[in-house]
Amino acid sequence: MIRMRTDFFAESLGMGTSMVVLMPQAASGIGMEGADGGQAPGDAVPVLYLLHGLSDDCTIWERRTSIERYATEKGIAVVMPEVRRSFYCDEEAGEKYWTFVVEELPELVARTFHVSTAREDTFVAGLSMGGFGAFKLALNHPDRFAAAASLSGAIDLLSMDLSARDAALAPRIWGDRDLAGTTDDLLGLVGSVDPQSLPALFLDCGTEDGLLEQNRRFIDAAEQHSVDLTSRLRPGDHAWEFWDQGIQDVLDWLPIRG
């Protein structure tokens, strides 16, 4: 696996930012038998956009899990972008991270790396705030992704009081906007999007996690509106031990062609 920390200027943000990219490599080291995913030499490879949480950055998945090893076994590229504490939104008093993730990032990745741009080869996953981001992308742009996974996702913003953690966070991102019916109202989107148009969805949350109840509400909303959702609520907290196992299971679940 080739690992790159890439620094670049993002037009949508008006500033420099970073991402970490893992690309499959034909050669394998000791104890690292790679998979080619069924691609012929020179073929573009499938790609997973892997999103970080509120307190983390684009390096965290590497530092807390063995994502490089797991991706090597699947023959899949992994793109881990930096979005700071944006909740994957165009911030009211800040940067346009939603525009960056939706428009500029995939274009930059396609121009720079030999990854497939086909829907059937494109996936997104994330934890906590990144779980929200993954489902936000899947529900707002279902034509772009074959599958999306949320691990311990903060996926019901309308029920959350973010001021207890950071009083300035919500005003900076959303101002005084009512989120009901917007691109950030994931439970509302579940009820309004054509279920047949959606990518495969996977939800994983710990039964000791503080976000458990909102994940249960998402499961109920998906069932009510006939949205195909693979979900599991298993013992665990909002912790990396849980997500390290979870991302392995997500990679096993993804419909990677091969």
Q: For the chain, what percent of residues have pLDDT higher than 70?
A: 93
- Residue 207 CA from chain centroid, whole number: 21
Confidence of residue 39 (pLDDT cuts 50, 70, 90): low
Residue 184 lies in a domain: yes
**Residue 244 lies in domain:** 2-253
Which is it for strands 200-206 and 229-234: parallel, antiparallel or unpaired?
A: parallel
In this predicted structure, what is the pLDDT of residue 37? 46
**Who wins on pLDDT, 40 or 117?**
117
In this predicted structure, what is the pLDDT of residue 162? 87
Query: How many Å apart are CA 106 and CA 34, to the nearest integer?
Result: 25
Count the alpha carbons within 13 Å of 29 in the hemisphere toward its beta carbon: 6
Contacts 24+ apart (CB under 8 A), 10-18: 10/100, 10/104, 11/104, 12/95, 12/96, 12/99, 12/100, 12/103, 12/104, 13/95, 13/96, 13/97, 13/100, 14/95, 15/95, 17/81, 17/82, 17/100, 18/58, 18/82
Close Cβ partners of 28 (under 8 Å, ≥ 6 residues apart): 34, 72
- H-state helical runs in the chain: 60-64, 67-74, 97-99, 105-112, 129-140, 169-174, 186-192, 212-224, 240-253
**Tell me, what CATH number does 57's domain have?**
3.40.50.1820
- Is residue 159's pLDDT more than 80? yes
Close Cβ partners of 42 (under 8 Å, ≥ 6 residues apart): none
Q: What is the mean pLDDT of the chain?
A: 94
Kindly report, residue by residue over 189-237, the tens digit of the pLDDT: 999 999 999 999 999 999 999 999 999 999 999 999 999 999 999 999 9
Kindly report, residue by residue over 79-100, the tens digit of the pLDDT: 999 999 999 999 999 999 999 9
In this predicted structure, what is the pLDDT of residue 163? 81
Model-level pTM?
A: 0.95
In this predicted structure, what is the pLDDT of residue 21? 98
**8 Å CB contact between 20 and 13:** no
Confidence of residue 26 (pLDDT cuts 50, 70, 90): confident
Residue 226 lies in a domain: yes
Residue 258 lies in a domain: no
Residue 128 lies in a domain: yes
∠120-121-123 over CA atoms, to 5°?
A: 95
Average pLDDT of the residues in 137-152: 98
Residue 216 lies in a domain: yes
Residue 248 lies in a domain: yes
**8 Å CB contact between 1 and 25:** yes
Residue 134 lies in a domain: yes
Residue 15 lies in a domain: yes
Query: How many Å apart are CA 74 and CA 71, to the nearest integer?
Result: 5
Tally the domains of the chain.
1
